[in-house]
Amino acid sequence: MKVGIILGSNELDRVAYAGMHALISATLDNEVVLFATMDGVKAFLKNPDLRVESGTSKTIRESNEDVFQHFRKAKKSGKLKILACSYASKIHGLDKDDYGDLVDDIVGITSFSMEVEGGQIISIW
């Protein structure tokens, strides 16, 4: 099965949840495509810009947990592709060189939709 994850936030707890969901889905042998859009693209910069406003985000930060470990494990399995939204990249003035090595490509929502056609899609805002 294909699993699409739309991440529209750079809030630490939401990024952590997206990573856990991606890893679990990949572990269950699903093809996973994460589409980072709007503020979600900021989480995948070379120097990630993660907001810490919620109580859960503060707890995660205090624990010093590496929230990107889940993405790296899922990528290592070959089952996860991370795409940055071309529109969000444009409005934030970002190009491929601004993103870290987890990002595979910058594409539009149409390309993401075609990647996960017929699959399950979850949105994390």
Structure letter (DSSP) for residue 29:
T
- Helix H or strand E encompassing 87: helix 86-91
Query: Which domains are seen in the chain, by residue range?
Result: 2-124 (3.40.1260.10)
Instruction: Determine the pLDDT at residue 39.
Output: 98
Q: For 63-122, write each residue's pLDDT tens digit.
A: 999 999 999 999 999 999 999 999 999 999 999 999 999 999 999 999 999 999 999 999
Structure letter (DSSP) for residue 45:
B
The 8 Å CB, 24+ separation contacts for 89-98 are 89/41, 92/41, 92/42, 94/41, 94/45, 98/45, 98/46
Q: For 43-68, write each residue's pLDDT tens digit.
A: 999 999 999 999 999 999 999 999 99
Instruction: Determine the pLDDT at residue 90.
Output: 98
pTM of the full structure: 0.96
**DSSP E strands, the chain:** 2-7, 31-36, 80-85, 105-107, 120-124
Decide: residue 76, CB within 10 A, 0-12 exposed, 13-18 middle, 19+ buried: exposed
Q: How far apart are CA 45 and CA 101, in angstroms?
A: 9
Instruction: Determine the pLDDT at residue 74.
Output: 98
**CB contact set of 13 (below 8 Å; sequence gap of 6+):** 54, 56, 57, 60
